[in-house]
Amino acid sequence: MNKKAIAPIMLVTGLSVALAGCGGGSDNGNASPSASSAGSSSASASASAPASSPASSDKKVTINMMHLWPEGSSAQQNKIVNQIIKEYQDEHPNVTIKQEVLENEQYKSKMKVLSASNKLPDVGMTWAAGYLQPFVEGNLFAPVDDLLQGELKDKFVSGTTEAYAINGKTYALPLEFNITPVYYNKKIFEKYNLKAPTTYAEFQEVVKTLTQNGVAPIALGNKDRWTGSLWYMYLADRIAGSQTLADAITGKVSFKDAGLVQAAKEVQTLVDENAFNKGFNGLSNDEGKSEFLNGKAAMYMMGTWELPNFTTNQDIPQEFRDSVGFFKFPTVDGGKGNIDSWVGGPGVGLFVAENSAVKEEAKSFVEYFVKRWGEQSVTDAGVIPATKVDTASIQLPQLYIDLLNEMNKATSITLFADVQMKASAAETHLNQIQALFGKAVTPDQFADEHDKAIAAGQ
Amino acid sequence: MSNKWAIALYVLPALVLILGLIYIPIAMTGYYGLTEWNGIGAQKWIGFDNYSALLQDSVFWKSALHSLLLAAFSCVSLLLYLIVALILSGRIKGANLLRKIYLIPMLLSSVAIAQLWLKIFHPTNGVLNSVLVSLGFDNPPAWLADTSLVLYAIFIPILWQYAGFYILIYYAALKNIPSSLEEAARIDGANAWQIAFRVKLPLIMEVIKVTIVLAFVGSLKYFDLIYVMTDGGPNNSSEVIASYMYHKAFKAFDFGYGSAVGFFLLVVCLVATWLIRRATATKDSIQYS
């Protein structure tokens, strides 16, 4: 046999091995449950179910689920997920649910890799609006409108499922609903005789007093960039008004609107006043947060998903948890914003993959999950679900109840800018936020870059 | 017949792996670079549009400059490693222990090193700034948040990370030199400097050339420590080509452009390797024995 004949054989073998490697785990529909992944210890519970039964309802089914609440950083959420899965498997002995758990940023990356090879898990988590769009356009998510007509009808807070709707179809069911208050350390405020500010002038007085006394006023980890975006969004909301901000993000109004430019200027004024902890642009959100948790910084702006750490999480000293209060972002004198308008919106939601081999089973699991999550997340995790909460019948921490009431009073809730925008515009927005805080761009350049990026995406 | 079959059989596993994991993905990356693709939907053929956009992309050139700076820095630091290796290979006490100490950073994963140095560089609680404050500097820099310092701050853990590897290579090469040559030189009246520069260095020149290529190309495609420590920030001031590629592909959802950056990086690395090999090529290698 000559060399020429061998070469193609080797090439073909090489290709097929490479392809087989990529295709691993593609037909999970009838995979054996014995290969359960770490984290779902109860996964083999269904192994004893009769395998030979011909009825379709008894057919063994494995649903793959991917989520972003690892045991370490989201302990409470992780516990509930495992609990719900266990309950579901007990009720449906023919179903096995396999989990894959990743941390937030890794989760986002893996979603993209899996989408590119069309290997999404049967059930997974997604964000709303701009993040969701490419997946829907690529026909990867299944519409779940039928679930909204069933048991879950009228269970959601209004405005939450809408954020997951594209062209009239809903592609995911939200689990969380968040608003973003400014948390503050009551002890520090008492020590310097300060009270929670209601106007921006008062807020600046607070900042001034704290810096004079050597306390970092605001904890911020702006390496993650969306953290700084929250501050800009609030200033923009209070100065230019919610409508202008919302229109600018969707491209209807230029970011060169006087109010929006003014907001960018105010951000830089805060930086000049040393309002944020030192080196914030090089710190991650977790590092920034620890400045607040260890009492070195007095204020911290974050979504209500952070509530467990200030109410129920036993790993954080009781003394500290008791000293955390919150205030609404103050109004700016002469601004168009309303103190009851918030930055926030639905967090992650559950999707069902369009090409899942077990679509119907996955859908009924999602329905069950959302329902149980709505009940359990309130009492066990202390986070606010996207489904309506009945506060009368259960004992809840005061901080939680106060924020829930604020949420019900909200005049408008503007969805996080980086979630609303398309991926490439969101990336520009986030980079520009870091540059603005680092004083690498002027407010005008900041506005220019936004307009350019948003126009390019349309 | 049997002979050729046997050769094919032995070559096959490695060939399959290399083709499947390296050459085919490279070809695919090259193809993706010519398309507009968000990683999910349809790919649209756009020819060289990505590359012409690349040439006008100021952030890309900034990251390319950072990569080159890192490469230059790595090559200069080779000198330091070489000096340490020369000292270790001389008859000094505790050379064995020191060699193991230098090797330890190499045994740690990059992420662990990054976490360690993040703590050291922390602007308020970090070891470095605590020391500076106690020495009387009231306002020490915020290292990783300072756009003019961050790149150089990251060079230090990189220098530290690779010290063991290169020192080990040089040390092994130096130990290979027959001691008779050193003794002969000493009898002829050469001092320690002359022995190092006239006898030892010329003999390990081939090894030095290889390490230059390794250090230069390794720096051009450097990613991990930077990704964990600063993620290219703040404001792209520590962005390198590989991290820029990652951001474009996986954050901005622009796989086509990201692939173009990746392919460009490959070409740059190949050209750099070729140039260094050419620049350092000598007709006859020196051998004394």
The CATH number of residue A272's host domain is: 3.40.190.10
At residue A54, does pLDDT exceed 60? no
Least confident piece of the model among A322-336, B94-108, B166-180: B94-108
DSSP B161: H
Answer yes or no: is pLDDT of A221 > 90. Answer: yes
Residue A22 lies in a domain: no
Residue in chain B closest to A6 (alpha carbons) equals B8
Average confidence (pLDDT) over A209-222:
94
Mutate to test the interface with A, among B139, B250, B257 (most CBs of A within 10 A): B250
Q: What is the pLDDT of residue B286?
A: 63
Please give the pLDDT value at position A77. 84
In a domain, A36, yes or no: no
Q: pLDDT at position A26, please?
A: 35
pLDDT of A158 above 80: no
Question: What is residue A24's predicted lDDT score, i.e. its pLDDT?
Answer: 36
- What would the mean pLDDT of A438-450 be, rounded to a whole number? 94
Q: Are residues A259 and A211 in the same domain?
A: yes
Residue B235: which CATH number? 1.10.3720.10
Per-residue pLDDT at B13: 92
Domain holding B209, by residue range, is 33-110+160-279
Would you call B40 and A1 a contact, using CB atoms and an 8 Å cutoff? no
A152 plus A234 within the same structural domain: no
* Residue in A86, A83, A157 with CA at minimum distance from that of residue A384: A157
Residue B288's pLDDT is 57
Q: How far is CA A220 from CA A19, A310, A323, B180, in A?
A: 45, 17, 19, 64
Same domain, A222 and A286: yes
Look at residue A317 and tell me if it is in a domain: yes
Q: Choose the closest CB to B20 out of A18, A112, A423.
A: A18
Q: Select from B96, B53, B27, B72 the least CA-distant residue to B222.
A: B72
Task: Indicate if A353 and A238 belong to the same structural domain.
Answer: no
> Which residue in B210, B201, B199, B204 sits closest to B165, CA to CA?
B210
d(CA A256, CA A445): 9
Q: What end-to-end distance do the CA atoms of chain B give, in Å?
A: 43
Query: Residue B158, CB half-sphere, CA atoms under 13 Å: how many?
Result: 30
Average pLDDT across chain A, whole number: 84
Q: What is B172-186 written as a DSSP string?
A: HHHHHS-HHHHHHHH
Mean pLDDT of B52-80: 93
CA A40, A45, A51, A57 dihedral sign is negative
Q: Are B230 and B238 in contact (CB under 8 A)?
A: yes
Q: Is the pLDDT of residue A53 over 70?
A: no
Cα–Cα dist A218/A183, whole Å: 10
Residue A160 pLDDT: 83
CB A54 within 8 A of CB A68: no
User: Same domain, yes or no, for A318 and A424?
Assistant: yes
CB contact under 8 A, B20 and A14: yes
Say what the pLDDT of residue A161 is. 87
Same domain, A372 and A336: no
Q: What does the pLDDT read at residue B29? A: 92
Query: Residue A24 contacts by C-beta under 8 Å, 6 or more apart in sequence?
Result: none
Number of helices followed by number of strands (H, E) in chain B: 15, 2
Hey, is B24 helix, strand or coil? helix
Q: Cα separation of B44 and A44, whole Å?
A: 45
SS3 B45: strand
Residue A449's nearest CA partner among A435, A430, A429, A434 is A429
% of chain A at pLDDT higher than 70: 87
CB A223 within 8 A of CB A284: yes
Answer whether residue A7 is part of any domain. no
What is the number of structural domains in chain A? 2
Q: Which of A43-57, A287-301, B129-143, B179-193 has the lowest mean pLDDT?
A: A43-57
Q: Pick A35 or A453 by higher pLDDT.
A: A453
pLDDT for residue A30 = 36
The number of residues making up chain A comes to 458
CB distance A282–B15 less than 8 Å?
no
Q: B16 at the A interface (CB within 8 A)? A: yes
In a domain, B41, yes or no: yes
Q: Give the C-alpha separation, B151 to A136, whole Å.
A: 39
Which residue segment(s) compose the domain that A296 sits in? 179-344+402-456
Amino acid at the residue A330? P
Task: Write out pLDDT tens, residues A228-273.
Answer: 999 999 999 999 999 999 999 989 999 999 999 999 999 999 999 9
- The tens digit of pLDDT for each residue in A5-26 reads 444 444 444 444 444 334 333 3
Under the banding of pLDDT at 50, 70 and 90, the label for residue B283 is: low
Q: Are A280 and B235 a contacting pair at CB < 8 A?
A: no
User: How far is A348 from A350, CA to CA, in rounded Å?
Assistant: 7
ipTM: 0.81
Q: What is the pLDDT of residue A23?
A: 37
Q: Is residue B145 part of a domain?
A: no
- Mutation target to probe the A interface, by most A beta carbons within 10 A, among B31, B40, B62, B120 is B40
Q: Taking Cα atoms as reference points, which of B171, B154, B158 lies closest to residue B234?
A: B154
* A380: contact with B, CB 8 A cutoff: no
Is residue B2 included in any domain, yes or no? no
CA distance A335 to A341: 13
- C-beta separation of A348 from A174 below 8 A: yes
Compare B30 and A38 and report the one with higher pLDDT: B30
Whether B199 maps to a domain, the answer reads yes
Pairing status of strand A123-126 against strand A349-352 = antiparallel
The answer to whether residue B289 scores a pLDDT higher than 60 is no
Tell me, yes or no, if B250 comes closer than 8 A to chain A by beta carbon.
yes
CA distance to partner chain A, nearest, from residue B59 (Å) = 11
Q: Do A76 and A194 belong to one domain?
A: no
Lowest mean pLDDT among A65-69, A155-159, A193-197, A453-457: A155-159
Q: Is B12 within the bounds of a domain?
A: no
The answer to the question of residue B184 being in a domain is yes
Residue A214 lies in a domain: yes
Whether A255 and A353 map to the same domain: the answer is no
Tell me whether residue A24 is in a domain: no
Task: Sort strands A182-185 and A324-327 into parallel, antiparallel or unpaired.
Answer: antiparallel
Answer yes or no: is A21 within a domain.
Answer: no
Q: Is residue B263 part of a domain?
A: yes
What's the confidence (pLDDT) of residue A18?
A: 40
Scored b (16 or more CB within 10 A) or e, A398-433 reads ebbeebbebbeebebbbbbbbbbbbbbbbbbbbbbb
Q: Which one, of A76, A84, A99, lies nearest residue A307 by Cα?
A: A76
Using one digit for the tens of pLDDT, what is the confidence trace for B243-269? 999 998 888 888 899 999 999 999 999
Residue A228 shares a structural domain with residue A124: no
Instruction: List residues bridging with A166 in a β-sheet.
Output: A169
| Paired strand residues for B161 | none
CB of A11 less than 8 A from some CB of B: yes
Verify that A120 and A219 share a domain, yes or no: no
Give B284's pLDDT tier (boundaries 50, 70, 90): low
- Structural domains in chain B (count): 1
What's the average model confidence in pLDDT over A421-433?
90
**Of chain A residues 106-165, which have a CB less than 8 A from chain B?**
108-109, 112, 115-116, 134-135, 137-138, 140
Q: For testing the chain A interface, which of B62, B229, B253 should be mutated: the one with the most A CBs within 10 Å?
A: B253
Q: Which two tokens stand for residue A97?
A: 């649910």
Residue A445 token pair: 């350049």
On whether residue A251 sits in a domain, the answer given is yes
Q: Are residues A65 and A204 in the same domain?
A: no
Residue B59 covered by a domain:
yes
Residue with tokens 């926030």: A344
Distance from CA of B257 to the nearest CA of A (A): 11
Is the model's pLDDT at A45 over the cut of 80? no
- Within 13 Å of residue A224, how many CA atoms lie on the same side as its CB? 15
Burial of A267 (0-12, 13-18, 19+ CB in 10 A): buried
CB B56 within 8 A of CB B200: no
Q: DSSP secondary-structure letter at B89?
A: H
